[in-house]
Amino acid sequence: MFNLLFIFGTIIRFFLIGVSGFKADIAFWKGWGLAVADNGIIWLVKNTNYNYPPGFAYVLDLINKIYKLFADPYNISQYWMDTNLLYLFLFKLLIIASDIGIVFLIIKISNKFKFEWGKLLALIYFLNPAVIFDGVIWGQVDQFGLFLFLGAVYLFIDEKPKLASIIFTISWLMKWQNIIFIPIFYLFVYKKYSFEDLIKSLTVSLITFLIISLPFWLNREMASLINLFTVNSNWFPWYSLNAFNGWWITSGLNGMGIVDKTLVLGVINAKQFGLLLFCVFYFIASLNIYLAKKEATLKQFILSSTLIVFSFFHLLTQSHERYLFHLLGLIPLLMIINSTSCHPRENGDPGALDSRLRGNDNKSYWNNGLILWILISLGLFFNMYISMFYNYPDQVFWPFSAGITRDISLLISVFQIATFAYFFVKYFHSFIKANYLWFIGIILVFFSSIFIINYGYILGKPVSLTKITPVDIQQDYLKPMINMTVESARGVSYWNRLSNNYYFYNLGIGAHANSVISYSLGKRFSKLTTDFGIDTEGGEKNKASFIIMGDGRELYRSKPKGKYDQPESITVSISNIDKLSLIIKTEGTDNNGLHADWLNPVLIR
């Protein structure tokens, strides 16, 4: 029966290869693959919008080189067709292979623990509609990242920590989502083995990283590599990218309509608040591993990884609809390890089962895990399905109106939040009860952090505008710099203090005409006080006006200012203003060298 169902699942995948899926993602794979195949990885990173890890570029390079053996990628009408079957086949072959690899790993891990239902779990994964939709229908590579991560877990079970570390490093250099496991991964190595083994694991991981990123080192392009690792932190600066979670609800079911730099608690914006919440749950996950007995560290590592994936999806802003996918591979592992570790092993053999596992405890672990797996699968499938409808309605059948779809998205959001709560209470209530002092401590740290960040605001003291992140930035040259001149954006050797006619300022925004810097203040402040002028390092010939806008209405406009004009001070009323915009506008036809500064800008409640 297993073989028949496995063949059936494989046939379904090959049958669905021709589905165009999420067309933007496929177009990115094509464009990036062509760029790296023609010009190399350095050119790709510096000249395109590539925002995946460096390792994945090699995969795209290989796919395009194979494509060239059978067809011409420069035949625009053929290559860029949404229904380019050859490209869809080559790319989705990676997805199918990853799914098959995950099936293999679930079975292998089950065999290691003498778990008799391993093939059933593997089939449930393989035939799961959420897995099929995310992969061969959507065209994403979440399976690839999950396969590599589970491969590292299997190598740990096989007592090969150094090889596991190599595979894990490759996993996050192929798919960014795996980067969230880095701290607990090496904490797990330390707890399960020793400090010496931790050093060895870190060493082989570093070597692996250096090998994969070698082109950047050889071409002295470390700045490009660093940028690649940081660019995603603000690539999609919204509450939610169709991830039906709490942020989707608070956005009014319009997650991509609100920038996550919007203030939500004093001077804390949505992104910062979500990160603080995520840190709380990450600490709990880490503590769960740190306090575990050595023989239970693997189980707690899987449990903590599951918690982190849940937290990543629900607590952080900018989350995608697919970011729960790793749970479809982690939950079966949790079921296997829970069911075979709820009692001591006979004769100390980690593969042997205590006879009591055939009883009620074993059934309870199985039922809880299966219920959780079903809940996650349902929520994830419908979240992805509706997201596909929002983006490419021609790819799915969806008979409901836009209004009804919004209501359904709310129900799915509540459903997925409830699933998260169910998991946390079911699997962590005993741990928190036993270690309540640690839990109280992290809660105190959380609220203390909120108080410290909001200290000045709570006490009614002036708040520097430099401490608030803009929701939107538009600038003709470089990017605005906080407490440094705009030229500092070119690199360390250009760093310089803000000044106007050699009046030096510690705080401010170094900008360049033409510039628009916007903030969402939530009507929290009554006045803005600031100095402004052309920076000392600016050009001599050109002038600029400084304009302050509030909710689309002009609140202040200066006379044209030149390099040798003294800094000017103003106070502007911003009562009941939500969106505040600081604008620097060129006076004349040339903005060359117009380095202009907002100096010591302060908000007053």
Position 318 in a domain: yes
> What is the full DSSP assignment across 68-117?
HHHS-TT-HHHHT-TT-HHHHHHHHHHHHHHHHHHHHHHHHHHHHTT-TT
For residue 442, pLDDT over 70 is answered with: yes
Please report which confidence band the pLDDT of residue 347 belongs to, taking 50, 70 and 90 as the band edges: very low
Say which residues have a Cβ less than 8 Å from residue 397's Cβ, sequence separation at least 6.
none
**Are residues 420 and 286 part of one domain?**
yes
- Residue 88 to residue 25: CA distance in whole angstroms: 12
Domain span at residue 429 reads 240-461
Position 200 in a domain: no
pLDDT attached to residue 54: 94
Half-sphere exposure of 401 (CA within 13 A, CB side): 2
Q: What is the pLDDT of residues 177-213, one digit of tens each?
A: 999 999 999 999 999 999 999 999 999 999 999 999 9
Long-range contacts of 307-312 (CB under 8 A, 24+ apart): 307/281, 307/423, 307/424, 307/427, 307/428, 308/180, 308/181, 308/184, 308/281, 308/282, 309/180, 310/281, 310/420, 310/423, 310/424, 311/277, 311/278, 311/281, 311/282, 311/285, 312/177, 312/180, 312/278
In 3D space, the residue among 166, 415, 145, 161 whose CA is nearest the CA of residue 305 turns out to be 145
Position 128 in a domain: no
258 alpha-carbon distance from chain centroid: 17
**Pairing mode, strands 498-500 and 543-550:** unpaired
Please report which confidence band the pLDDT of residue 493 belongs to, taking 50, 70 and 90 as the band edges: confident
For residue 389, pLDDT over 90 is answered with: yes
User: What value does the mean pLDDT of the chain take?
Assistant: 92
pLDDT attached to residue 233: 77
Give yes or no for a contact between 216 and 93, defined as CB atoms under 8 angstroms apart: no
**Are residues 480 and 430 part of one domain?**
no
How confident is the model over 86-102, as a mean pLDDT? 97
For residue 355, pLDDT over 60 is answered with: no
Examine the fold and report which residue of 461, 478, 494 is the final residue of a domain before the chain moves on: 461
How confident is the model over 89-93, as a mean pLDDT? 97
Strands (E), 123-175: none
**Are residues 469 and 448 part of one domain?**
no
Any bridge partners for residue 463, and if so which?
603
**Are residues 500 and 395 part of one domain?**
no
Q: Indicate the SS3 state at residue 499.
A: strand
DSSP letter for 559, please: P
Please report which confidence band the pLDDT of residue 362 belongs to, taking 50, 70 and 90 as the band edges: low
- Left if phi > 0, otherwise alpha if psi is -120 to 50, otherwise beta: which for 523? left
The domain that holds 589 is classified in CATH as 2.60.120.1060
Please report which confidence band the pLDDT of residue 478 belongs to, taking 50, 70 and 90 as the band edges: confident
Find the range with the poorest average confidence among 338-342, 408-412, 582-586.
Answer: 338-342
pLDDT attached to residue 341: 57
**Pairing mode, strands 319-320 and 463-464:** unpaired
pLDDT attached to residue 353: 37
How confident is the model over 315-344, as a mean pLDDT? 86
**Are residues 474 and 454 part of one domain?**
no
Neighbour-count burial of 403, counting CB atoms closer than 10 A to its CB (0-12 exposed, 13-18 middle, 19+ buried): exposed
Q: What is the pLDDT of residues 297-314, one digit of tens each?
A: 999 999 999 999 999 999
**Are residues 549 and 408 part of one domain?**
no
For residue 363, pLDDT over 90 is answered with: no
How confident is the model over 431-443, as a mean pLDDT? 94
Give yes or no for a contact between 224 and 46, defined as CB atoms under 8 angstroms apart: yes
- Left if phi > 0, otherwise alpha if psi is -120 to 50, otherwise beta: which for 159? left
**Are residues 391 and 302 part of one domain?**
yes
Give me the number of domains the chain comprises: 2
Question: What percent of the chain is modeled with pLDDT above 90?
Answer: 82
pLDDT attached to residue 572: 95
Question: What percent of the chain is modeled with pLDDT above 70?
Answer: 96
C-alpha distances in Å from residue 453, one per residue of 38, 103, 274, 456: 48, 47, 14, 8
Q: What is the pLDDT of residues 168-179, one digit of tens each?
A: 999 999 999 999
pLDDT attached to residue 592: 84
C-alpha distances in Å from residue 273, one per residue of 193, 262, 266, 450: 35, 11, 11, 8
Residue matched to tokens 């209405």: 553
For residue 590, pLDDT over 90 is answered with: no
**Are residues 421 and 405 part of one domain?**
yes
Give yes or no for a contact between 251 and 263, defined as CB atoms under 8 angstroms apart: no
360 vs 576, residue with greater confidence? 576
Position 567 in a domain: yes
Give the DSSP H/E element, type plus range, for residue 169.
Answer: helix 161-172
Please report which confidence band the pLDDT of residue 352 belongs to, taking 50, 70 and 90 as the band edges: very low
**Are residues 352 and 372 part of one domain?**
yes
Q: Is the dihedral of CA 219, 222, 227, 228 positive or negative?
A: positive
**Are residues 471 and 368 part of one domain?**
no
pLDDT attached to residue 342: 44
> What is the full DSSP assignment across 315-360?
HSTTEETTTTTTHHHHHHHHHHHHHHHSSPPGGG-TTPPPGGGGSH
Please report which confidence band the pLDDT of residue 344 belongs to, taking 50, 70 and 90 as the band edges: very low
pLDDT attached to residue 539: 82
pLDDT attached to residue 357: 42
For residue 579, pLDDT over 70 is answered with: yes
Residue matched to tokens 């089950």: 110
Q: What is the pLDDT of residues 217-265, one digit of tens each?
A: 999 888 888 888 887 778 889 999 999 999 999 999 999 999 999 999 9
pLDDT attached to residue 222: 86
Neighbour-count burial of 376, counting CB atoms closer than 10 A to its CB (0-12 exposed, 13-18 middle, 19+ buried): buried
Say which residues have a Cβ less than 8 Å from residue 376's Cβ, sequence separation at least 6.
324, 327, 328, 331, 419
Position 332 in a domain: yes
139 alpha-carbon distance from chain centroid: 19
Position 430 in a domain: yes
Position 78 in a domain: no
How confident is the model over 266-274, as a mean pLDDT? 95
Please report which confidence band the pLDDT of residue 348 belongs to, taking 50, 70 and 90 as the band edges: very low
Residue type, 47: N
pLDDT attached to residue 368: 85
Examine the fold and report which residue of 410, 443, 461 is the final residue of a domain before the chain moves on: 461
- Residue 423 to residue 425: CA distance in whole angstroms: 6
Position 272 in a domain: yes
**Are residues 302 and 423 part of one domain?**
yes
- Residue 73 to residue 89: CA distance in whole angstroms: 15
- Residue 601 to residue 468: CA distance in whole angstroms: 11
pLDDT attached to residue 450: 95
Find the range with the poorest average confidence among 80-94, 145-159, 361-375, 492-506.
Answer: 361-375
Neighbour-count burial of 448, counting CB atoms closer than 10 A to its CB (0-12 exposed, 13-18 middle, 19+ buried): exposed
pLDDT attached to residue 360: 55
Residue matched to tokens 């933007």: 24
Q: What is the pLDDT of residues 24-50, one digit of tens each?
A: 999 999 999 999 999 999 999 999 999
Tokens of 247: 């942020």
**Are residues 425 and 360 part of one domain?**
yes
Examine the fold and report which residue of 411, 443, 461 is the final residue of a domain before the chain moves on: 461
* pTM score: 0.91
How confident is the model over 433-453, as a mean pLDDT? 94
